[in-house]
Structure 1
Amino acid sequence: MASTFAWAANAAAAKHISDEESYYRIGELAREFDVTLRALRFYEDKGLIRPKRRGTTRLYSSNDRARLSLILLGRKIGFPLSDVKHILDLYDPRGSNVHQLKTVLDKSERQMKQLEQQYFAIEEAVSELSGLIRDIQNRLAHLQVNDNDHSTEYTGAN
């Protein structure tokens, strides 16, 4: 995942250098990435994407689009936005980006450990809950059998 994140960051910058820049309106990006307009404005306020303005219209470049893809990937894997911004801001189109890659690797390894701990905790909780459900179902089944026996005896005594 770390290499995917860093590769995508490099690809985003490469797209930015292209001669013919494609621009996207806020609604187009929102639909494409299934996010709200408010989310896009929030990412803009945080400095993660920087659309150009033409009057009141926001125009997002292919670089903004690629950055949005990385922002959403970072959020999906649990990175705080501050980490995503830090990683994206480390990109240097003229450099080897070793520092960026090491940062992505470090943050990814830490996040992997945290997710694994959460995964094991969830597995344990699911196991405990499954056992509780089985126990309650068995108890209810036993009580219903006993209730049926008693109700038969009671109605038979009348």
Structure 2
Amino acid sequence: MADALIAVVQDERLLTVTELAAELGVTARAIRFYEDKGLIQPGRVGATRAYTRREHARMQLILRGKRLGFSLREIKEFLDLYDVDPEHDEQKRLLLRAVRDRIRQLRVMNAALVRTLDELQAIELQVSSALER
């Protein structure tokens, strides 16, 4: 393990949890949470976590997935496929299904929001008219 880490250090810059958090605009606690969930796997230099470009890229995908409303389970499935499918075809199929499902969900939510806004605007108009009398 130490030899592998030394080779990584020679090839690329390692980040501490604090540095990675600052680059991504999240807390170190958030990064540790995703590590605990098995979504990222930093190496170690002594007792210090050492994050490579791989973990940085995975964190960007995790944060984007969360922003788009995907569950951690869905994000983990997507990330796990990356490692086992060299052509990434299965990963792309899973992503396409997940994106289409999320679009459907958001369209339903959007329709509900439009109905709610219409109803609230009607109430606003009624109450405003009543107060003007």
Tell me the TM-score normalised to structure 1 length.
0.73
Q: Which amino acid aligns with 1:47?
A: G
Q: Give distance in 1, aligned partners of 2:45 and 2:97.
A: 39
Q: Which amino acid aligns with 1:111?
A: R
Segments of structure 2 that go 5 or more residues without pairing to the other structure are 1-7
* 2:43 and 2:50 in contact (8 A); partners too: yes
Q: Residue 98 of structure 1 corresponds to which residue in structure 2? A: 89
* 2:16 and 2:50 in contact (8 A); partners too: yes
Q: Does 2:27 match 1:36?
A: yes
Give 1:37 shift.
1.6
CA RMSD of aligned residues (A): 1.8
Match of 1:118 among 109, 114, 120: 109
Q: Give distance in 1, aligned partners of 2:118 and 2:18.
A: 44
Larger radius of gyration: 1
Name the % identity: 38
Q: Residue 51 of structure 1 corresponds to which residue in structure 2? A: 42
Tell me the TM-score normalised to structure 2 length.
0.86
* Structure with higher RCO (Cα < 8 A, 6+ apart): 1
Q: Give distance in 2, aligned partners of 1:59 and 1:92.
A: 20
Match of 1:131 among 114, 122, 126: 122
Q: How many correspondences in the alignment? A: 125
Q: Give distance in 1, aligned partners of 2:110 and 2:80.
A: 30
Q: Give distance in 1, aligned partners of 2:120 and 2:25.
A: 34
CA, structure 1 residues 94+102, in 2 after alignment: closer, same or farther (shift >3 Å)? closer
Q: Residue 25 of structure 1 corresponds to which residue in structure 2? A: 16
Q: Give distance in 2, aligned partners of 1:33 and 1:133.
A: 42
